[in-house]
């Protein structure tokens, strides 16, 4: 993803930047900066695992002191840096493969750390919205794409 900004927090609000924290990556977890992540047993973190599920809007941040850029994934057992995004902020996240999103498309968890279009129409689905694309984007069937997301 050449030419990608080397930051996840693109626009913050009057309260400032994301509320930052860190935790150990769970066994088998390899979160990529920009992934939606979640806490699991024993306080470890992994990629958000419930497609269309409710999330705390925890976004994996880069480990730039160790990795060369934001496209370097964490490894299991490594300390994962993340931030809690607030409504209105813009984050550099990852859209799943085979998606076409406009600025009014609701984005939800794809169940693997990436985001996808919200296909559900239930009231519960509305609580699962992570945000909306800042600009229209289309991904191919073979690849994901970084996307700027305005947090819900």
* Cβ-contact 29, 47 below 8 angstroms: yes
Query: What percent of the chain stands above pLDDT 90?
Result: 71
Burial class (CB in 10 A: 0-12, 13-18, 19+), 45: buried
Q: Look at residue 2 and tell me whether its pLDDT is greater than 60.
A: no
Higher-confidence residue of 108 and 1: namely 108
**Domain edges within the chain:** 9-87, 91-151
Residue-wise pLDDT for 3-59, tens only, equals: 666 778 776 655 668 889 999 999 999 999 999 999 998 899 999 999 999 999 999
User: Residue 60 in contact with residue 74, Cβ under 8 Å?
Assistant: yes
């Amino acid at each position: 993803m050449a030419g990608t900004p080397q930051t996840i927090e693109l626009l913050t609000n009057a309260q400032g930047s994301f509320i930052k924290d860190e935790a150990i990556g769970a066994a088998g977890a390899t979160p990529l900066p920009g992934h939606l992540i979640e806490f699991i047993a024993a306080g470890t973190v992994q990629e958000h695992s419930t497609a269309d599920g409710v999330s705390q809007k925890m976004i994996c941040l880069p480990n730039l002191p160790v990795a060369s850029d934001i496209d370097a994934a964490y490894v299991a057992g490594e300390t994962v840096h993340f931030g809690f995004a607030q409504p209105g902020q813009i984050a550099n996240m990852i859209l799943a493969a085979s998606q076409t999103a406009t600025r009014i498309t609701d984005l939800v968890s794809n169940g693997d750390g990436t985001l996808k279009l919200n296909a559900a129409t239930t009231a519960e689905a509305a609580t699962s919205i992570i945000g909306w694309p800042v600009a229209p984007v289309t991904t191919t069937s073979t690849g994901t794409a970084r996307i700027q997301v305005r947090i819900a």
